[in-house]
């Protein structure tokens, strides 16, 4: 797992900027995603993925040991769905296998 500080350091090094600048950019990037998702429902970043609101329904739970019933209220959460390009980049062996199978089936 990469911490925020480690991510900021990597961003700063990769972009040739200070860690303060990278921290500023990351903070505002996250804020824009949150604000936009709250107002518009989703943010699409080409080649990366989609951030969107997901509504979770109310859940009714029952603990058989105690006999206690509990309700977890409905809520909204932030979901991320990766783009096909990102999925391919994360799973290069799978992409090559799929392309090979497709090419072989066309012959």
pLDDT higher for 23 or 100?
A: 23
Place of tokens 């921290």: 23
pLDDT confidence band for 99 (50 / 70 / 90)? low
47: left (phi over 0), alpha (psi -120 to 50) or beta: left
| Contact residues for 7 (Cβ-Cβ < 8 A; gap 6+) | 26
Q: What is the pLDDT of residue 95?
A: 59
Q: Is the pLDDT of residue 81 over 90?
A: yes
Q: How many degrees, rounded to 5, is the angle at CA 43 between CA 51 and CA 45?
A: 90
């Amino acid at each position: 797992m990469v911490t925020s500080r480690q991510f900021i350091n990597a961003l700063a090094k990769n972009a040739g900027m200070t860690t303060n600048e990278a921290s500023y950019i990351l903070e505002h990037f996250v804020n824009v995603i949150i604000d936009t998702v709250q107002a518009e429902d989703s943010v699409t970043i080409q080649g990366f993925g989609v951030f969107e609101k997901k509504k979770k329904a109310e859940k009714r739970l029952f603990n058989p040991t105690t006999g206690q019933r509990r309700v977890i209220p409905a809520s909204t959460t932030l979901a991320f769905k990766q783009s096909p390009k990102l999925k391919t980049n994360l799973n290069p062996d799978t992409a090559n296998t799929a392309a090979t199978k497709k090419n072989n089936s066309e012959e």
